Structure 1
Amino acid sequence: MYGRTLQRPKQRKSQIKKLPAPTAGWISNRALAVPNGPDGKAPQGAAVLDNFIPRATSVILRRGKRRHCTLGNGSEDATALFSYKDGQNRKLFGATETTIYDITDVEFATDAEISTEDGDLIEDGNGNVFGWSSTQFLSVMGAFTGGDWSVVQFAASGAIFLVGVNGKDTGFIYDGAVFYPYVAGGIQILAYDDEVEPFTIGETVTGGTSGATGIVWQIEETGSGEGILYIYGVENGPFVDDETLTDGDDGEATANGAEADYLPGIEFGTGITSADMSFVWVYKNRLYFVQKDTLDAWYLEVDSVGGAATKFPMSGIFGLGGSLLFGQRWSLSSGGDGGLSEQNAFVSTEGEVAIFQGLSPEDTTTWGQVGLYRVGRPLGKNAFIRGAGDIAIATSVGLVPLSKAIELDLTALTAASISYPVADAWGNAVEQRGLEAWHGEVWPEQKIAAFSPPTGGAGLPPVLFVANTETGAWSRFTGWDVRCMEVFEGRLLFGEPGGGVFIANETGSDDGVPYTGAVIPLFDDFGAPGARKIPKVGRYVTRASAMVAPRISWQGDYSETLPAAPNATELMGGSVWGQGIWGQSQWVESLPRFINDGWKSLGGTGYYGSLAYQVTSGSAQPLDDEIISAELTYEVTELL
């Protein structure tokens, strides 16, 4: 028999862990066991970073989306956005599958009908309902069957034009005032006087003496009974002076001279028109075109928007076959004079990039192939961005800079890609959402690059991959079903299903709907990998335009399943238009910034853990919740 002294269990002491803001952004490729890298010096990243924008010093909740307009009656998706910029003449256009609209200045963001208090529509005596339309009277060209436009601005003959093709319909040429069909023969003007009955757009006008015919595209009235017909498709011409002009809708007048060229047309090979072209770009002051579903490119003469296009067959260049997808000019700092060497890059659907240098294929003294490289399969003809002279192509292996593709084998490109921090998430998106219809855009004013994958055949929720162009940090936006994007006057606009066109990062809600930002920093073992942690309290230190109402939770053992989102933070309406008090309320720019640093009780356990943060914004005023750091206290159980 002997005695043994009983020892009381040691009282556990709370420890504290401080986490800086995840300025490294959303990371899906870092080893789970070493969140700060093998040397422990990697900046803080996040396993989840939804609806926050990573900055060099913090991460901040994105702002909402504000509806700019609704294309048509809302029954068609927005398919393309593009702009025209010539001095003070600056225009923004939006397209659906059937129509192009001028949406530079839109009075009403949505369509609406006026009704009584009982819900009865107010009509006139003819059954017409009173109300308003967002874009009903803003259409500039229509009767299309496809809306996947490729558009480029080009200077020629002292004028600035937009040229657009979509691979299905006759393309367009825009002169800064009017859209015209991009057809062989171009656009002619035919003056008339002594009008008997007005002509009708779309009808065929015929010369009574010459027998010449042409289709009326536009009518410009210049005086009483006088005007100009803009016509195309002229046959059996020319028209002759003083002959009678008639159309199929009883229009009649007298020709005042013969027709004259107004805009040049474009001619391809026999049986080929602008409707067969799916992409257009500029290289060395020439327009280049991709012929859809072929390995053929076409190009025009220098400084010309019309004339006979020359074919550049490339079937013998691309060894993997497929078809030509898009092209772009590309600059590399390797010119013979030490400056930038501009080259022409042709990209195939199979992920081969043929690089050529020189003036044009017909100039054998300067034109030559520099190389053929692999980049992974491109994710659509709009799935690329430009940075300085370089091109970054969204592909099946990541966002690949062309400057890297010429140096590395395809198998090494993922690690060299811009999207490498989110390589796993990128790969999953490609697998689940498909290899087509991705769209990329750079927003220079906000230092953001964005890529929108489709929702996929399974109808996955929409997401937007977003990167800080200065730091390379990534995040993910949810709730924005982006189908096309365009930066205009310093603002990013995007189109959605149902014809909605929205301005990004404005207001505090998504078109009146609250949205939630979520952060889960990378999981950590807190220096004791074999011990279970019991969290006690935690807090996030943020600064925002209000005292926010977040939800802070412990996430144990790599669980990314978050609790229900908190209710939207309620804000005072003093700075919201129509709710302010004159002489007392402040505009958003002058609102004070509030520090939020309250402690919250935590539950749960885990060998590995993280402190999650959720905040919901739903007011007209942006919340601008900026995360500075996070802290939590915890206890460690003894090893058994």
Structure 2
Amino acid sequence: MARRPVNRAPRLQTETLPPPVGGLNTLDAVANMPPTDAVILDNYFPGTADVPLRNGFQTWGSGLSNVETLAVYTSGTTRKMFAVSKGKVYDVSANQAVGNGNVVAEGPYLSGAQFTGGVTTTLPLSQTYASSAGVLVHFDDVYQGFDQYSIVGTNIVFTSPIPVGVNQVYIESIPALAANITAEGPFTGVGGQTSINLSQVYGGTINLIVYFDGTYQGPDQYSLAGKVLTFTAAIPAFVSKVYVIAVSIGNIAQEGPFTGVSGQTTLTLSQTYAASANLLIHFDGGFQGPDTYSIAGTTLTFTAAIPAGVGKVYIIALGSSLVSGLTNSRWQYVNFSNAGAHFLVMCNGVDPVLLYNGTAWQQVTQSSTPIAITGVDPTTFASVNVFAQRLWFAKLNSTQAWYLPIGQVGGAANVLDIGSELTLGGFLAGMATWNIDDSAGLNPYLVLISSVGEAVVYQGSDPSQANAFGISAHFRIGAPTGRRFYEKYGSDIVFIGADGLTPLSKALLSDRSERNETLTRKISPSVTADVAAYGAHFGWQVILYPDGNKLLVNVPTAEDTTSYQYVMNTLTNAWCRFTGWNSTCFAYYNSGLYFGGPNGVAQADVGNDDGGNAINADIKPAFNYFGQRGMQKYFKMVKPVFLANSPFTLQMDLSVDFNNTLPTSTPGFSQGFSTPWDTTPWDRVPWNGAQIIQSDWESIDGIGYAATYRMRTQTKGIAYSIESATFLFEPQNELTL
């Protein structure tokens, strides 16, 4: 009987794997990991059905660096966002250069073109302004007092015609800060005097702009004690009026005075400013218009050399910051309302408490006005919380919590010292308000967390009454990281620390050893290692971004320099890691996610590039046996399937049998041509954005029992998602022993 021929034809097989929607997994053994998990998932966000490339970020405004705090103020429909950088508070509510919009240059108006000397009394403005004091007027280099004109709608009307011989009229105004500007004077009949009395107290001489008639007086020529402004020399007898323009604290800064600079064309400032209009410059007492200089970074360049006879150059910066002179920029904050106003309350443990009421800022001390906190030095308040209609503060490096009267942002503070409750020592790291839904309804609790991870929970309304306020629970959690270690998550609170990201409700009912209760269980080895390596760094923060279905944990790998984020999909609890967002702080503002860092402020989770740079993505799904655990396989090709808005290139590498060798190749760069709506001229650039399917076979080569791919991309302006990956392989003919 003839033998049947042996079929030696290759037996190629294909198998399609799902995208890793289960997210990053650094806990399970790679040999037993679910097929929907990933060993590496950098800059992909695991969705419910596919895995898209994360969105990018765009720079939000300009002119700032080293932003360590973003604070959001909310009152009714009014929302503002403030950035704290290098000891100063800035308004970053709008996407514009810092200070831009606070100072407006009207003009300059030119003789013969826009006015006739000796006749013209009215000049048009671009907008309305609140008061004459908020408008600074100069005829050439001579100041014109605020009693010499009025603002009528969008016009400025002078009491006398512009004199013959005036070549230019400069008008600079501060519309956004008009409520913070006060006109003191004009003072008359003060020739020969050395002091004048102001109507109120101001932060310092830097807050004042002073003129003797039309001649500017530098801040080194007077001092301020309470309401008394004292000059270094008597006011000259010929001076008929003294004008004092008082600008609210922080809205004004001083550069110089610069001396010995005659003949120079450039000066170096201490920081960048949005525009030349933000500066008021005087050569001795004579004003220099913003058309006579320009700004590039910190360099101020004049169109002509500083004249030889100039003794001092004074530079006043307006609209640059709202509060200045702070010791550090690492603040904690809450919003708090009472019957009178809504406040943003901020503290950092070394500076006076900051209050913002929607219009003005105040630094609160034991003796400040109109609001003060007594009974304790408020500069020692390191964190703040709201509970039972009271403001609560944690005192720096102590076990004391201080609270104010109900509904008050000032007044006599009282202490609750939990030192006797802390069996492990440490200090009070922070406080949170926790809501528990039980048979009695939704009940609020005050949670005080120590630096070593003890949680003391109080319930009640009046801490001064033992029968109305007491301890409800006392348990341990992992030692928290920094001051921004918790976030509200529904009615629960989540804490980041040595145990990972832990819901308080789970920590209450379990032991620290039960890591299954943490939200970060699947990435717990990575989080634990990060806390051990970087836990002392400033910049740890947990933030919920509900509009993006994201919960983020910021990990500062190098303080104020670099960081990455663990990001959880709040719909599936799947994790991933974002790199390239070098953030120090985050904020949720106007339904968007924002971060501050070494390069200023940025809006996150928007667009398809990182501030104009490519997004570098890296993915390595779980290893797979393809249904044949004991069979070796010869892997030949893989076909990933993408939905994208533009074609792109990728670097595909094969890993077999749990090999973790780093690829030596470099992914190619791909740039899309999609055009964001309303940012480019109509019919000028190619339109793209229609979804395409990209599914090309990629050559791979390797022999092993289990395999996966590692894919890296470098894209800009491209959005894509991973839908599946099909492997082409040949299994061995016989089982390997």
TM over 0.5: yes
Matched, 1:624 2:715: no
Contact 1:540/1:613 (CA < 8 Å) preserved in 2? no
Contact 2:63/2:97 (CA < 8 Å) preserved in 1? no
Matched, 1:367 2:459: no
Rg larger for: 2
Matched, 1:26 2:24: yes
Counterpart residue number, 1:479: 580
Name which of structure 1's ranges 573-582 and 361-370 shifts more when overlaid on structure 2.
573-582
Residue by residue over 1:508-557, the C-alpha shift from the partner in whole angstroms, topping out at 9 and shown as x without a partner, is: 22112212222111112233334433211111111111122222221223
Residue by residue over 1:389-442, the C-alpha shift from the partner in whole angstroms, topping out at 9 and shown as x without a partner, is: 210000101111100111001111x22100001111111211222245311111
Q: CA separation in 1, counterparts of 2:536 and 2:62?
A: 28
Within-5 A mapping of 1:141-290: 141-187=323-369, 263-269=370-376, 273-290=377-394
Report the 3-state secondary structure (helix = DSSP H, G, I; strand = E; otherwise coil) of the residue aligned with 1:603: strand
Q: CA separation in 1, counterparts of 2:631 and 2:642?
A: 30
> How many residue pairs were aligned?
529
Q: CA separation in 2, counterparts of 1:87 and 1:581?
A: 38
Counterpart residue number, 2:625: 525
Counterpart residue number, 1:311: 415
Report the 3-state secondary structure (helix = DSSP H, G, I; strand = E; otherwise coil) of the residue aligned with 2:382: strand
Counterpart residue number, 1:389: 491
Report the 3-state secondary structure (helix = DSSP H, G, I; strand = E; otherwise coil) of the residue aligned with 1:602: strand
Q: CA separation in 1, counterparts of 2:77 and 2:666?
A: 46
- Per the TM alignment, residue 595 of structure 1 is displaced from its structure 2 partner at its CA by 1.0
Matched, 1:330 2:458: no
Counterpart residue number, 1:60: 52
Per the alignment, do residues 460 and 121 of structure 1 end up closer, same or farther by CA in structure 2, a change over 3 Å counting? closer
Per the alignment, do residues 115 and 282 of structure 1 end up closer, same or farther by CA in structure 2, a change over 3 Å counting? closer
Q: Percent of counterpart pairs with the same letter?
A: 26
Q: CA separation in 2, counterparts of 1:494 and 1:533?
A: 47
Within-5 A mapping of 1:289-308: 289-308=393-412
Q: CA separation in 2, counterparts of 1:121 and 1:408?
A: 62
Within-5 A mapping of 1:123-138: 123-125=302-304, 137-138=319-320
Counterpart residue number, 2:455: 353
Contact 1:152/1:281 (CA < 8 Å) preserved in 2? yes
**Partner residue of 2:649 out of 530, 549, 557:** 549
Per the alignment, do residues 598 and 86 of structure 1 end up closer, same or farther by CA in structure 2, a change over 3 Å counting? same
Contact 2:60/2:96 (CA < 8 Å) preserved in 1? no
Per the alignment, do residues 115 and 90 of structure 1 end up closer, same or farther by CA in structure 2, a change over 3 Å counting? closer
Report the 3-state secondary structure (helix = DSSP H, G, I; strand = E; otherwise coil) of the residue aligned with 1:382: coil
Name which of structure 1's ranges 511-520 and 428-437 shifts more when overlaid on structure 2.
428-437
The amino acid that maps onto 2:729 is: Y
Counterpart residue number, 2:67: 78
Contact 2:657/2:707 (CA < 8 Å) preserved in 1? yes
Report the 3-state secondary structure (helix = DSSP H, G, I; strand = E; otherwise coil) of the residue aligned with 2:28: coil
Counterpart residue number, 1:516: 616
Q: CA separation in 2, counterparts of 1:408 and 1:122?
A: 65
Within-5 A mapping of 1:417-436: 417-436=518-537
Counterpart residue number, 1:379: 481
Counterpart residue number, 2:502: 400
Per the alignment, do residues 87 and 460 of structure 1 end up closer, same or farther by CA in structure 2, a change over 3 Å counting? closer
Name which of structure 1's ranges 460-469 and 485-494 shifts more when overlaid on structure 2.
460-469
Q: CA separation in 2, counterparts of 1:88 and 1:460?
A: 35
- Per the TM alignment, residue 577 of structure 1 is displaced from its structure 2 partner at its CA by 6.1
Per the alignment, do residues 326 and 15 of structure 1 end up closer, same or farther by CA in structure 2, a change over 3 Å counting? same
Q: CA separation in 2, counterparts of 1:33 and 1:433?
A: 30
The amino acid that maps onto 1:397 is: D
Within-5 A mapping of 1:555-634: 555-560=655-660, 561-572=662-673, 574-575=675-676, 581-582=682-683, 586=687, 591-619=689-717, 623-634=718-729
- Per the TM alignment, residue 136 of structure 1 is displaced from its structure 2 partner at its CA by 7.7
Matched, 1:490 2:585: no
Q: CA separation in 2, counterparts of 1:288 and 1:53?
A: 37
**Partner residue of 1:140 out of 294, 297, 322:** 322
Per the alignment, do residues 426 and 136 of structure 1 end up closer, same or farther by CA in structure 2, a change over 3 Å counting? farther
Name which of structure 1's ranges 95-104 and 560-569 shifts more when overlaid on structure 2.
560-569
Per the alignment, do residues 373 and 491 of structure 1 end up closer, same or farther by CA in structure 2, a change over 3 Å counting? same
The amino acid that maps onto 1:123 is: F
- Per the TM alignment, residue 460 of structure 1 is displaced from its structure 2 partner at its CA by 9.6
Counterpart residue number, 2:83: 94
Contact 1:575/1:585 (CA < 8 Å) preserved in 2? no
**Aligned residues: CA RMSD:** 2.7
The amino acid that maps onto 1:513 is: N
Counterpart residue number, 2:282: none
Residue by residue over 1:187-229, the C-alpha shift from the partner in whole angstroms, topping out at 9 and shown as x without a partner, is: 2xxxxxxxxxxxxxxxxxxxxxxxxxxxxxxxxxxxxxxxxxx
- Per the TM alignment, residue 10 of structure 1 is displaced from its structure 2 partner at its CA by 4.5
Counterpart residue number, 1:107: 96
- Per the TM alignment, residue 275 of structure 1 is displaced from its structure 2 partner at its CA by 1.1
Residue by residue over 1:128-161, the C-alpha shift from the partner in whole angstroms, topping out at 9 and shown as x without a partner, is: 9xxxxxx983410010111110111101232101
Per the alignment, do residues 478 and 402 of structure 1 end up closer, same or farther by CA in structure 2, a change over 3 Å counting? same
The amino acid that maps onto 1:400 is: T
- Per the TM alignment, residue 304 of structure 1 is displaced from its structure 2 partner at its CA by 0.8
Q: CA separation in 2, counterparts of 1:632 and 1:136?
A: 63
Per the alignment, do residues 369 and 597 of structure 1 end up closer, same or farther by CA in structure 2, a change over 3 Å counting? same
- Per the TM alignment, residue 583 of structure 1 is displaced from its structure 2 partner at its CA by 8.8
- Per the TM alignment, residue 634 of structure 1 is displaced from its structure 2 partner at its CA by 1.1
Gaps of 5+ in 1: 37-42, 129-134, 188-262
The amino acid that maps onto 2:74 is: K
**Partner residue of 2:424 out of 291, 308, 320:** 320
- Per the TM alignment, residue 124 of structure 1 is displaced from its structure 2 partner at its CA by 2.4
Q: CA separation in 2, counterparts of 1:140 and 1:362?
A: 37
Q: CA separation in 2, counterparts of 1:461 and 1:82?
A: 21
Q: CA separation in 2, counterparts of 1:275 and 1:564?
A: 54
Report the 3-state secondary structure (helix = DSSP H, G, I; strand = E; otherwise coil) of the residue aligned with 1:90: strand
The amino acid that maps onto 2:683 is: W
Contact 1:71/1:96 (CA < 8 Å) preserved in 2? no
- Per the TM alignment, residue 564 of structure 1 is displaced from its structure 2 partner at its CA by 3.5
Per the alignment, do residues 344 and 599 of structure 1 end up closer, same or farther by CA in structure 2, a change over 3 Å counting? same
Gaps of 5+ in 2: 99-271, 276-292, 308-316
Q: CA separation in 2, counterparts of 1:450 and 1:169?
A: 29
Contact 1:71/1:101 (CA < 8 Å) preserved in 2? no
Report the 3-state secondary structure (helix = DSSP H, G, I; strand = E; otherwise coil) of the residue aligned with 2:670: coil
Per the alignment, do residues 575 and 399 of structure 1 end up closer, same or farther by CA in structure 2, a change over 3 Å counting? closer
Per the alignment, do residues 122 and 7 of structure 1 end up closer, same or farther by CA in structure 2, a change over 3 Å counting? farther
Contact 2:398/2:428 (CA < 8 Å) preserved in 1? yes
Counterpart residue number, 1:239: none
Within-5 A mapping of 1:9-24: 10-24=8-22
Report the 3-state secondary structure (helix = DSSP H, G, I; strand = E; otherwise coil) of the residue aligned with 2:618: strand
Contact 1:376/1:397 (CA < 8 Å) preserved in 2? yes
Per the alignment, do residues 579 and 604 of structure 1 end up closer, same or farther by CA in structure 2, a change over 3 Å counting? farther
**Partner residue of 2:638 out of 538, 543, 546:** 538
The amino acid that maps onto 1:280 is: V
Q: CA separation in 1, counterparts of 2:306 and 2:15?
A: 70
Q: CA separation in 2, counterparts of 1:461 and 1:102?
A: 24
Residue by residue over 1:316-361, the C-alpha shift from the partner in whole angstroms, topping out at 9 and shown as x without a partner, is: 0111010000001101112x52x11110000000001000111132
Residue by residue over 1:23-65, the C-alpha shift from the partner in whole angstroms, topping out at 9 and shown as x without a partner, is: 11111112222122xxxxxx61111111011111111111211
Contact 1:378/1:435 (CA < 8 Å) preserved in 2? no
Counterpart residue number, 1:504: 604
- Per the TM alignment, residue 582 of structure 1 is displaced from its structure 2 partner at its CA by 2.4
